[in-house]
Amino acid sequence: MEIVLIALLVYASGIYTGVSYEHTKQLETEKIVADVRQAGQESAATEIAKIEIKQSTIVQPVVETIRSEIKYRDCKHDDATVKRINEALTGK
């Protein structure tokens, strides 16, 4: 009878130890996943913050065209520049 009782206690202790071990492994895995998720979010936020928004719709082509003309009385917009100006004004 004592042998059976000892065997049951050893078995129950083993089960408890195994459950504790698996629970600890699960908690460690969840912590690793949370740390990786946090690092990924911080990395993405850092890279997104580096993005510079620049608006250069038609300013550069128009400035280049105007600067290429030495005499201001002869300075006229070519067809492409007029088209860009109209698109900028209408928002299309």
Lowest mean pLDDT among 38-47, 63-72, 78-87: 63-72
Binned at pLDDT 50, 70 and 90, residue 88 comes out as: confident
Give the pLDDT confidence score for residue 38 in this predicted structure.
Answer: 92
Average pLDDT of the segment spanning 31-50: 90
Average pLDDT of the segment spanning 11-18: 77
Whole-model pTM: value is: 0.40
List C-alpha distances in Å: 72 to 41, 60, 66, 76: 54, 18, 8, 8
Q: Does pLDDT of 63 surpass 60?
A: no
